[in-house]
Structure 1
């Protein structure tokens, strides 16, 4: 029988004509038929009343929904939807209290070989994402916002960006430090940029940040116990903080780094309950305590919302030191002075300059214009991550795996960054220069003055045709010589975007559209679009190849550097170093996200390849 036949059978059996509902309580002394499980209690009561049988006990409570947990995600809900949370019955109430006292998220551990909880790549579009944000969106954000995305799992707001500016800027000037000496020695020995930065990172070990991490732990304990919900709450009563054990956060003498960072926070009008508490105490705060107050303020929202773990929050001071050190180490030792860095005074670094401006100056030793900063931050966003399969990410994850993430306090974050750096090189990282070298060769004989002017006077069509002719001759020579090793044009074609009559890399299209909306022009990007068309029309390609994202990176970087290069302020060697280093800056952030993710989720030695899957070749 079907369900309706069964309903009719029961209705005949009970002697009722209709289904029971609260609005139409149709029942008999024999029973009632309901189709909604929520109506059963009312139906039972009605049938009992029909039998003149009342409850043995007075009613107590209600059958309304009584959630033990709830979150409105900050949305103001109407009364009908804003269901109040009630205390659970014993023994579950104590378990709920324990969960509510837990600070931050705890992720289940699992093997993370070739896997990540931080990044992924869309196989169809080739657009990677980090913590749910695509690299196209990241390309529209500031460098500071992408620092937040990497470690806090969200971009954050203006106040967060100011905190990040001060936290990292406090460590870029390496004058008189062993890490600068190590980086400079590596530079003078002829090492590539990744090895130079690795030399500096190796020195920022656990002891260098232990005091700041201990301060962060203390602050998390005390401010959570005091009931702080928002680290930006200007009305929070700091007198509620239990100050026992705070002595290591203060010193009897002035700490110049602490004072400079606090002055920078004040000048930028940063809001922070933790900084306000720190500066209200009678003693002088240490530089480590100021750094901990900044990073704990940054972490507080994601920590309370259980977006990040406590381990992540307590690691932020170390990350700030490492990021500042690597940015600083990318600049020659001569640009580190007692009172400033790369032409910026210490006061300007902490009080005014953005992290984007500081990185640009460290990279190129030039004062950036607005268009330069746009191109720079666009490059950083595009290059943050390429998923856990990238060699650089594997190096970082392997370093965490080898230390043992199941004992996170033993993982050396600086060594993990060295793992990322050792897994970059002239092919993975430094290959961005190939596109620049191609463009420089193509434009060498032109009188191009400003690549941002649409009226540049260069015949791009003729230039593209000459490049195609040279490439066709090269291919013919190689084939005539019987060589199958034919180099490809850098920045042209892509293994995924290649089967349509006219192909497009969605990342290139996005940047082109973004630039057009801003009213910006890039002659090098335009040249690449002419080139793929000329390749097809000359019969060198069977269809119109796509301009890939590597070409966009080369075009953006060369646009920034073209005029300084023409003025002789930069050499081609400087350009190659810049192309490599500009890959390392964003990938440093993306690999930090992988390191942090593996630290929280991974298992010891989980990136090993089983012996059964290894091959011997002879």
Structure 2
């Protein structure tokens, strides 16, 4: 119809046509918002299957001194209306156009049928599509066949009389034209072809295609010259915006609804292994407690110096003797509450006013050291005299602060290094406890803050988190174990200057100092239990508390209240369920005379013990079925809803821990028993395949191994065993939920965790 009426039809899925000489464009946005700047009049016509690249090619040509005549975005369709043959005819009859550039994608034989009488540069793309089996991208960009990218390259090489592709390193061209496969090579190819035709560019080049970065950071890496690109000043008005961004301290994540979403944690649906800030829980199981604190709040594990700083900061807050936090926790404990309620009582006391001084100190230090252009917070050569001290009177006092002096002594004893602490100690007077805590936390955060990997708000909140973590670990121990200058058998000097967090938390949990094997088991548990993704009930409670406070006004979000949200969303099923596995193991081993579960020569026939357990369980199942009951209790720690359909099933988390223990030469009789148990279930016909030993069994085995000697001595009553199993879950999950709180506070929207009424059900 168009041909009969003498009408050219462009598209229908293209951006139309633009005429640079007559300053006219029809059908789309060729040339962008300022087409007069991009489409400068010249002698080159453009025919492109891509609308976006139509403008890009024109811009590239202008940089090299070539202007345009007519630019046509043909689109890419099986039934293309204005195709290459029509373009070739128009090009031959356009006195303004001396040459043309074609941008071609796979699909269609349009270019094969075109006869060009003027020089052309053909850019053929899409070799990768030959590996596909269906159409992608533009509608006609079909994969494979005789009209793929390689075929079109051959067409143009034949038409142009060249034997290869033009590149700056190997410029192959003729007076008829050149073939390129990279749009960045179009200007050089066109210039070479036109020079061969005794034709110079339309005007002086207006720039170059060299990369001109407005931002740059080598992250301290010595880059080769070809990668070490100089940063140039941006064009106005972007130069002012770039300067503002460079002055900005920390990142500012975009806000979005965060219901059932997280930028901190995720679970792999196939392996069931969760990760926190990119670190899997299996890797976390091999890391120190202090490293996991930094991971949760600053998104990285940190180094040895970081661990020293974290240990001192938290240890300074575990001894709660004479504090209202301890009084509240003990009152809750004496009332018979579960461990989560005990810790929540203490957390409620550590409110915003308790951390205000440290937060203000952190704000001041961030501003002063950013102005002094500090790069490395551990730089012993940094000139602290370059930091402005005017208005820093709030950081010091006239008389020594007991907690501040204890922290400074602890840092010195551990050999911790901090520019902030060194600067603080140089100020007139005595540093306050809040100022020392802020100096420690700002040192920890300086590298990720400077690299804009964490927000400023997250760093200003760090002192509060350290107070909360230390307080909750301390509150998990009975008030009788908090004494003036001593906590759980450690004096305060030892706490702040020597002991690791794992040792301190272990002593708070069990009241004894751990052996090396105990520490390994404890640390492994902490890593495994750090997070189970944002869908976990505990994480939902934490996120809901942030959402209710309103993260769009983050200064109103109370971190202690958010932690209470986490604590109220744990319980005897979610958190205390590790007790079921411990109780099961304790029952199986109660009368067999096991003295030391870490001794592989314990003398217990585990296979026979497992067989007896299976026999009792099979009898129990039969009795329940005969009674007509379908309510049959499952053996804790075996089978899994995901790892279940193979002849022999394995939970990859259990395999990882088992192999880790084997590498250490660390034996656990309870873990070994579970391996015998799943085989015995299959051998007795109770299971149709060999069940996996799941991660809950590993947790129970590790925990019972730590508790076995106190249980045998009678130091632990039944309810205390349950309390210990619950509390050891709360320690690491406290860190994981702190990560969710910080993430939601930085990213979330007010009340974004609520469920719309349309999705709620009424049950009569």
What range is the shorter-chain TM-score in?
Answer: over 0.9
Q: Equivalents in 2 of 1:377, 1:499: separation in Å?
A: 32
Q: How does 1:124-135 map to 2 (within 5 A)?
A: 124-135=270-281
Cα drift, residue 571 of structure 1: 2.5
2:316 pairs, out of 159, 166, 170, with 170
Q: Equivalents in 1 of 2:322, 2:255: separation in Å?
A: 42
Q: Which has the higher contact order (CA 8 A, sep 6+)?
A: 1
1:476 pairs, out of 622, 631, 638, with 622
Q: CA 1:472 to 1:251, structure 2 compared with 1: closer, same or farther past 3 Å?
A: same
Structure 2: tracts of 5 or more residues without a match: 1-83, 85-108, 122-158
| 1:595 and 2:760 correspond | no
Residue number in structure 2 paired with 1:368: 514
Residue number in structure 2 paired with 1:327: 473
Q: CA 1:195 to 1:10, structure 2 compared with 1: closer, same or farther past 3 Å?
A: farther
Q: Equivalents in 2 of 1:86, 1:556: separation in Å?
A: 57
Q: CA 1:359 to 1:45, structure 2 compared with 1: closer, same or farther past 3 Å?
A: same
Residue number in structure 1 paired with 2:546: 400
Q: CA 1:495 to 1:60, structure 2 compared with 1: closer, same or farther past 3 Å?
A: closer
Q: CA RMSD in A?
A: 2.1
Q: CA 1:246 to 1:13, structure 2 compared with 1: closer, same or farther past 3 Å?
A: closer
Cα drift, residue 49 of structure 1: 9.7
| 1:491 and 2:598 correspond | no
Cα drift, residue 271 of structure 1: 1.1
Is the Cα contact below 8 Å between 2:324 and 2:349 reproduced in 1?
Answer: yes
Residue number in structure 2 paired with 1:207: 353
Question: In the TM superposition, what whole-angstrom CA distance separates every residue of 1:172-196 from its partner, at most 9, and x where no partner exists?
Answer: 0000000100000011111110000
| 1:353 and 2:499 correspond | yes
2:289 pairs, out of 138, 143, 146, with 143
Cα drift, residue 491 of structure 1: 0.7
Which region of structure 1 is more displaced relative to structure 2, 72-81 or 583-592? 72-81
Cα drift, residue 62 of structure 1: 4.8
Q: CA 1:468 to 1:89, structure 2 compared with 1: closer, same or farther past 3 Å?
A: same
Residue number in structure 1 paired with 2:718: 572
Is the Cα contact below 8 Å between 2:329 and 2:342 reproduced in 1?
Answer: yes
Q: Equivalents in 2 of 1:20, 1:592: separation in Å?
A: 56
Residue number in structure 2 paired with 1:451: 597
Is the Cα contact below 8 Å between 1:452 and 1:559 reproduced in 2?
Answer: yes
Q: CA 1:12 to 1:265, structure 2 compared with 1: closer, same or farther past 3 Å?
A: closer
Q: CA 1:579 to 1:5, structure 2 compared with 1: closer, same or farther past 3 Å?
A: same
Is the Cα contact below 8 Å between 1:7 and 1:33 reproduced in 2?
Answer: no
1:227 pairs, out of 363, 367, 373, with 373
Cα drift, residue 564 of structure 1: 2.0
Question: In the TM superposition, what whole-angstrom CA distance separates every residue of 1:353-384 from its partner, at most 9, and x where no partner exists?
Answer: 00110000000011101111000000000000
Q: Equivalents in 1 of 2:575, 2:389: separation in Å?
A: 48
Residue number in structure 2 paired with 1:344: 490
Is the Cα contact below 8 Å between 1:20 and 1:32 reproduced in 2?
Answer: no
Is the Cα contact below 8 Å between 2:119 and 2:177 reproduced in 1?
Answer: no
Residue number in structure 2 paired with 1:307: 453
| 1:268 and 2:375 correspond | no
1:281 pairs, out of 422, 427, 431, with 427
Is the Cα contact below 8 Å between 2:120 and 2:178 reproduced in 1?
Answer: no
Residue number in structure 2 paired with 1:117: 263
Q: CA 1:86 to 1:446, structure 2 compared with 1: closer, same or farther past 3 Å?
A: same
Q: How does 1:2-41 map to 2 (within 5 A)?
A: 5=112, 9=116, 18=162, 22=168, 24=171, 32-33=177-178, 35=180, 36-41=182-187
SS in 2 for 1:120: strand
Is the Cα contact below 8 Å between 2:643 and 2:649 reproduced in 1?
Answer: yes
1:216 pairs, out of 327, 351, 362, with 362
Is the Cα contact below 8 Å between 1:10 and 1:33 reproduced in 2?
Answer: no
Residue number in structure 2 paired with 1:533: 679
Is the Cα contact below 8 Å between 1:127 and 1:507 reproduced in 2?
Answer: yes
Q: Equivalents in 2 of 1:109, 1:407: separation in Å?
A: 12
Residue number in structure 1 paired with 2:306: 160
Q: Equivalents in 2 of 1:558, 1:163: separation in Å?
A: 31
Q: Equivalents in 2 of 1:72, 1:517: separation in Å?
A: 38
Cα drift, residue 6 of structure 1: 8.1
Residue number in structure 2 paired with 1:380: 526
Residue number in structure 2 paired with 1:436: 582
SS in 2 for 1:279: helix
Cα drift, residue 543 of structure 1: 1.2
Question: In the TM superposition, what whole-angstrom CA distance separates every residue of 1:389-448 from its partner, at most 9, and x where no partner exists?
Answer: 111111100000000000000001000000110011111111111111111110111111
Residue number in structure 1 paired with 2:144: none
Q: Equivalents in 2 of 1:370, 1:20: separation in Å?
A: 66
Residue number in structure 2 paired with 1:99: 245
Q: Equivalents in 2 of 1:585, 1:7: separation in Å?
A: 73
| 1:610 and 2:756 correspond | yes
TM-score in terms of structure 2 length: 0.78
Q: CA 1:504 to 1:53, structure 2 compared with 1: closer, same or farther past 3 Å?
A: closer
SS in 2 for 1:9: coil
Cα drift, residue 25 of structure 1: 7.9
Q: CA 1:247 to 1:11, structure 2 compared with 1: closer, same or farther past 3 Å?
A: same
Cα drift, residue 24 of structure 1: 4.4
Is the Cα contact below 8 Å between 2:171 and 2:189 reproduced in 1?
Answer: no
| 1:584 and 2:730 correspond | yes
Q: Equivalents in 2 of 1:534, 1:33: separation in Å?
A: 74
Cα drift, residue 463 of structure 1: 0.9
Q: CA 1:3 to 1:10, structure 2 compared with 1: closer, same or farther past 3 Å?
A: farther
Cα drift, residue 576 of structure 1: 1.4
Structure with more strand by fraction: 2
- Please identify the structure whose Cα radius of gyration is greater: 2
Residue number in structure 2 paired with 1:545: 691
Q: CA 1:181 to 1:54, structure 2 compared with 1: closer, same or farther past 3 Å?
A: closer
Q: Equivalents in 2 of 1:323, 1:391: separation in Å?
A: 20
Which region of structure 1 is more displaced relative to structure 2, 298-307 or 176-185? 298-307
Cα drift, residue 20 of structure 1: 6.3
Q: Equivalents in 2 of 1:544, 1:508: separation in Å?
A: 15
State how many pairs are aligned.
615
Q: CA 1:540 to 1:90, structure 2 compared with 1: closer, same or farther past 3 Å?
A: same
Q: CA 1:183 to 1:12, structure 2 compared with 1: closer, same or farther past 3 Å?
A: closer
Q: Equivalents in 2 of 1:250, 1:20: separation in Å?
A: 70
Q: Equivalents in 2 of 1:316, 1:78: separation in Å?
A: 38
Which region of structure 1 is more displaced relative to structure 2, 10-19 or 316-325? 10-19
Is the Cα contact below 8 Å between 1:131 and 1:154 reproduced in 2?
Answer: yes
Q: Equivalents in 1 of 2:117, 2:440: separation in Å?
A: 69
Cα drift, residue 568 of structure 1: 2.4
Structure with more helix by fraction: 1
Q: Equivalents in 2 of 1:188, 1:410: separation in Å?
A: 32
SS in 2 for 1:301: helix
Cα drift, residue 41 of structure 1: 4.2
Is the Cα contact below 8 Å between 1:201 and 1:417 reproduced in 2?
Answer: yes
Q: CA 1:10 to 1:541, structure 2 compared with 1: closer, same or farther past 3 Å?
A: farther
2:572 pairs, out of 422, 426, 441, with 426
